[in-house]
Amino acid sequence: MSLGTVAIIGLGLQGGSIGLAVQEFLPGTRTTGYDLDPATRTRAAERGLVHQVCGTAAEAVSQADLVIFCVPPGVMGEAAAEVRGAIPSGALVSDVGSCKQSIAAALREALPDHTVIPAHPVAGTENSGPDAGFAHLFRNRWCIVTPPEQTDLVKLSELVAFWEALGANVEIMDARHHDLVLAVTSHLPHLIAYTIVGTASDLEDVTQSEVIKYSAGGFRDFTRIAASDPTMWRDVFLTNRDAVLTMLQRFTEDLTALQRAIRVGDSDTLFDHFARTRAIRRSIIEEGQDDSRPDFGRTDHENGGARG
């Protein structure tokens, strides 16, 4: 690959994992990094997440061929604007956010003279911060690239090759369609998980100790997802508002139908619905996006993968 230096802005789970993955799978590429939090910068340097942890974002991007913003969606534009004058004119700019339309607009506004090609690696865990990253986070996971119209095809090929080198399967997708797909496959499940765990903690007739002590597998999975970074997910729901509300309305209608089936004892409707959704689980396993072994076959690093 022709990427001599990759600059990573934001050294949490995603940024740290990219830095470690580049060092393992692209040993000829140099990495620089920056994080707004001094403690995160210190820990990133201790772990060696990138070759050089810089004191400023401008320093980190000054020699970059590729700049990847790994910050919450709500501050993506602000982070990009801060380094507008420092990014080399020929550098490619990308990100890892899970809301593509709003992020693409923010990056284009902040960096009107640069080539911006948004991307979203659909991989992660419920953990965050510089200790959460690991080099194999993206192996056999999808990375959705959402190029704008009239994209530089050479730059697009470079970005696709970069993610493939880190082990990801790359899909090219329209940004609007991406936001709709992720609203139902990622954003809505997180919203439901946050709601269910919140409901359990608010129940007056069930103590918190009972919720913790007698948690069944399903509830434990919800708590795993609900442990995800609150700042990131707050921004996700606000920046992908329209698609999330569309999917939430559809979910509410389907939930109402199931509620009625339970109330009237409609066993056929319940059975048919559960049988259909069970088949979806099998398809996910066949696609290699999860594992049928106990605890989903996850290793300590992967255990809990709440993917954004």
Q: What are phi and psi of 168, to 5 degrees?
A: -85, 155
The structural domains of the chain, with segments of one domain joined by +, span: 5-173, 177-297
Of 10-19, 79-88, 216-225, which gets the smallest average pLDDT? 216-225
In the CATH scheme, what is the code of domain 5-173? Answer: 3.40.50.720
Distance of alpha carbon 92 from alpha carbon 159, whole angstroms: 8
Residue 284: the pLDDT is: 64
For residues 44 and 130, the answer to whether their CB atoms sit within 8 Å is yes
Residue 189: the pLDDT is: 85
What is the tens place of the pLDDT at every residue in 106-161? 999 999 999 999 999 998 777 889 999 999 999 999 999 999 988 999 999 999 99
For residues 70 and 8, the answer to whether their CB atoms sit within 8 Å is yes
Q: Which residue has the higher pLDDT, 73 or 162?
A: 162
66-69 vs 52-53, strand pairing mode: unpaired
For residues 27 and 69, the answer to whether their CB atoms sit within 8 Å is no
Distance of alpha carbon 36 from alpha carbon 53, whole angstroms: 11
Q: Helix, strand or coil for residue 144?
A: strand
Q: Residue 286's pLDDT band (boundaries 50, 70, 90)? A: low
Task: Give the pLDDT mean for 219-244.
Answer: 83
For residue 73, the cross-strand partners are none
Domain 177-297, classified CATH 1.10.3660.10, yes or no: yes
Q: Residue 93's pLDDT band (boundaries 50, 70, 90)? A: very high
For residues 174 and 146, the answer to whether their CB atoms sit within 8 Å is yes
- Quote the radius of gyration of the chain (alpha carbons, Å): 21
CA 188 centroid distance within chain: 14
Q: Helix, strand or coil for residue 283?
A: helix
5-173 and 177-297, same CATH topology:
no
Q: What are phi and psi of 22, to 5 degrees?
A: -60, -45
Angle between helix axes 241-264 and 267-286 (nearest 10 degrees) is 140
Mean pLDDT of the chain: 87
* Tally of CB atoms within 10 A around 204: 5
Q: Is the pLDDT of residue 211 over 90?
A: no
pTM of the model: 0.79
Residue 289: the pLDDT is: 57
For residues 135 and 24, the answer to whether their CB atoms sit within 8 Å is yes
